[in-house]
Amino acid sequence: MKSIKTFYLGAGILGLLVMAAIFAPLITSFDPTEQDLMQTLSAPTSAHWLGTDALGRDVFSRLIYGARIDLTIGVLAVLLPFIIGVSLGLLTGWFGGRFDSLVMRVVDTVIAFPFYVLAIALVFIFGPGVKSIIVAITLVGWVAYCRIVRANVLVAKELDYVHAAKLTGLPIGRILRRHLLPNVISQAIVFSMSDIVLSILAIVSLGYLGLGVPIPTAEWGSMIQEGQPYILQQWWLATIPGFMVVIVGFALSLIGDGLVARLER
Amino acid sequence: MVAPLFAVENISVEIKTNRGLLQAIRGVSLEIHAGDSIGIVGESGSGKSITLKAILGLLPNNAQLTSGKIYVAGQDIAKLDKKARRALLSESAGMIFQDAIAALNPVITVGDQIAEVPRFRLGMSKKDARKTALTLMEQVGISDAEARFGLYPHQLSGGLRQRIAIAIALSGSPKILFCDEPTTALDVTIQAQVLRLLLELRKNSGLGVVFVTHDLAVVNEICDSVKVMYAGRFVEAGKVATTFNSPSHPYTYSLLKAAPDPDAAVHRLFSIYGEAPNLTLPVVGCPFAPRCFVAEAQCTAMEPALLPIYESQSACFKSSDRDLWAASDSKLGRR
């Protein structure tokens, strides 16, 4: 029962954020990129709930418009590696042989580099922007799913009912999809929850390093970077976007915990 | 003489374990004709299940067929490509397992699992596949098939699950049903029902059965011939009646002696002392010799081959003295 509560708590927090991001124009009347040079670095007021930044832009609307970008990329940058990694894991685990060795050597190579080093290098090559962030994180991220699923397939393919299906001569695609996949996917789903946190963190870090979404688009990472010079006077500029990342991470962890308990009953 | 459907010639299987290479099967030959019913008996670890898996190409990753040939319908399956091999095997063989809950996919309804082969291998329409599945369910004695079609495996009793597993195995209309201890996990009354079902299938549709078990009574009930397996080899083979009435191998003799007799008042059952040999070590001499009551010097020096003797086959140097065994079997069950 506890697991269901944590799941709903996490889903509730995330749901609120997603709703805020979707209905951003209804929640705030300020344009997140509109500058008001008469009112820079103002403290929170009744008009600007979280104050304004150095260019007089409303921090609150930048925060919720930023959620759009960060959550979208976060999800996409997990969905693509998930699909690629799970498919390759299924195939390598099932067929083995040379194809398996080849893919696993690629996996080893990717894993040999620290995540950020490779991601930053790839974004550098492709040039900053939403697309290259997604591509970079996909290229680095699929290996984890491939490994998880492959390991599970190696166990699951010795199950009696997989043997039975094999012996009855069902088409391989059918066996993989109906008999193997439902068995091996749950761990990958649980992992993907914590992976979204990682990928949002990566997007924010890339944004902070100036490799993210081009300015002036609102994005949490660049907001932290822009707020950094004022950390002693206007501490909320850098702290609040960072706090948002923490909240998203917290919500996803709760969902992940709930899923673990539910799927691995 | 009709060509056998399955001809297994002198196969050996090695399994990689963390204690080293294990010689799970050491030269097993077997012929299976359509309509045969063969029992393979032996204790745990004697290689019965691995023999089935080797024949059906279901060996786990750490096991390897190191020598020997397997012919299915006259074709050497090692020479076929994967696809042809799968097609040939699936037309010839079905398999049922010890644990029916593990042999069924928990996330698909039992009806859909039976309908899978008709639909996806034989290419029937959804409606026809469903009809075929319902017929199969009735054929394996499931009453009210229509209502049970949409149930999941965990909603059924053990006996029904095994019936479903049999229906799935039959869905591709195989000629031989390979059974890996299918009644071991069931209680005795359900066991009897499943055995009766297998007997009926044999009688009505001429289905061949290869039955792996350690239950001699089960073999006696449904098989015509029996192979006794010990330490990865057949040590005795013959007709069930002959072998069980007058065994030609001391191991078979001991096994039968150890079976409880319901009519006799017995205080203590016979047991075969010692334990099965460690197959990670090379086998020198007859592997049963250390536990045997008639073993002598030559038994520990050389391993006897499976040779015809009396009406059956036995791998023992002392088979010809079998009429004298009753006098010396007092060594049985002692420690």
Residue B131 to chain A, least CA–CA distance (Å): 18
Q: What is the pLDDT of residue A2?
A: 63
Rounded Cα gap, residues A41 and A57, in angstroms: 9
Which alpha helices (H) appear in B8-123, and where do they start and end? 48-56, 82-92, 110-116
pTM here is 0.78
Residues in B closer than 8 angstroms to A171, CB to CB, are 120-121
Contacts of B168 (CB under 8 A, 6+ apart): A164, A168, B94, B103, B104, B113, B114, B116, B117
Report the DSSP beta bridge partners of residue B212: B40, B180
CB A33 within 8 A of CB A217: yes
Q: Is pLDDT of A40 > 50?
A: yes
| Three-class DSSP category at A58 | strand
Nearest to B322 by CA among B287, B294, B290: B294
Instruction: Using the Cα atoms of residue B273, residue B279, residue B282 and residue B283 in order, give the sign of their dihedral.
Output: positive
Residue A146 CB partners (closer than 8 Å, separation 6+): A84, A85, A86, A88, A89, A92, A103, A107
What is the identity of the amino acid at B241?
A: A
Is any Cβ of chain A less than 8 angstroms from the Cβ of B221?
no
**What is chain B's alpha carbon radius of gyration, rounded to the nearest angstrom?**
21
* B144-194 pLDDT per residue, tens: 899 999 999 999 988 899 999 999 999 988 999 999 988 887 888 888 888
Sign for the CA dihedral angle at A20, A79, A152, B56 comes to positive
pLDDT at A265 exceeding the cut of 60: no
Residue B61 to residue A96, Cβ atoms within 8 A: yes
* Per-window interface: B 249-288 vs A, CB < 8 A: none
* Contact: B61, A170; criterion CB under 8 Å: no
pLDDT value of residue B335: 42
Name, in order, each residue with C-beta under 8 angstroms of A121's C-beta and a sequence gap of 6 or more.
Answer: none
User: Which residues from A are below 8 Å from B when comparing CB atoms?
Assistant: 96, 154, 158-161, 163-171, 174, 178-179, 182
Q: Give the separation between CA B272 and CA B86, rounded to whole angstroms.
A: 41
What gap in Å lies between CA B267 and CA A224, rounded to an integer? 84
pLDDT at B2 over 80: no
Q: Which of A165, A167, A174 sits opposite B56 (nearest CB)?
A: A167
Q: Which residues of A touch B164 (CB under 8 A)?
A: none
Q: What is the pLDDT of residue B331?
A: 58
Looking at the complex, report in whole angstroms how far the Cα of residue B321 sits from the nearest Cα belonging to chain A. 44
CA of B36, closest CA in chain A: separation in Å? 20
Could you give the angle at the alpha carbon of B325 between the alpha carbons of B322 and B331, nearest 5°? 145
Q: Do B102 and A171 touch (CB under 8 A)?
A: no
What's the Cα-to-Cα distance from A11 to each of A67, A230, A249, B300, rounded to whole Å?
16, 34, 12, 70
Please indicate whether, in this complex, the C-beta atoms of B102 and A160 are within 8 angstroms of each other.
yes
Spatial contact of B163 and B197, defined as CB atoms under 8 Å apart: yes
User: Taking a C-beta distance cutoff of 8 angstroms, is the pair A225, A207 a contact?
Assistant: yes
Residue B171, chain A, CB below 8 Å: the answer is: yes
* pLDDT at A104 > cutoff 90: yes
Query: Which of B102, B104, B117 is the closest to A170 by Cβ?
Result: B117
pLDDT band at A264; cut points 50, 70, 90: low
**Mean of pLDDT values over B300-323:** 85
Q: Is A176 exposed, middle or buried (0-12, 13-18, 19+ CB in 10 A)?
A: buried
In three-state secondary structure terms, B306 is: coil
Q: A168 and B120: CB-CB below 8 Å?
A: no
Give A7 to chain B, closest Cα distance, Å: 23
What is the distance between the alpha carbons of residues B176 and B93, in angstroms, rounded to a whole number?
A: 5
What pLDDT score does B11 carry?
Answer: 93
Distance in angstroms (rounded) separating the CA atoms of residues B251 and B228:
9
Residue B266 pLDDT class (50, 70, 90 cuts): low
pLDDT in tens, A142-199: 999 999 999 999 988 888 889 888 888 888 888 898 888 988 888 898 888 888 888 8
The structure tokens listed for B39 are 């029992």
**How far is the CA of A149 from the CAs of A183, A258, A263, B184, in angstroms?**
10, 20, 15, 33
Q: Which residue has the higher pLDDT, B79 or B319?
A: B79
Question: Which residues from chain A sit within 8 angstroms of residue B52, using beta carbons?
Answer: none
Nearest CA among B69, B5, B12, B57 for reference residue B233: B12
The answer, for B87 touching chain A at a CB cutoff of 8 Å, is yes
Instruction: Tell me if A186 sits within 8 A of A263, measured CB to CB.
Output: yes
Mean pLDDT of A107-124: 89
Q: Cα distance from A170 to chain B (closest Cα, Å)? A: 6
The pLDDT mean for chain B works out to 87
Residue where the block lists tokens 């990129």: A33
Q: In the predicted model, is pLDDT for residue B250 greater than 80?
A: yes
| pLDDT attached to residue A166 | 86
Task: Check if the beta carbon of residue B118 is closer than 8 Å to that of residue B130.
Answer: no
State how far the Cα of A178 lies from the Cα of A83, in Å rounded to an integer: 16
Mark yes or no for CB contact A169/B172 under 8 Å: yes
CB A24 within 8 A of CB A64: yes
CA B114 to chain centre: 23
d(CA A162, CA A151): 16
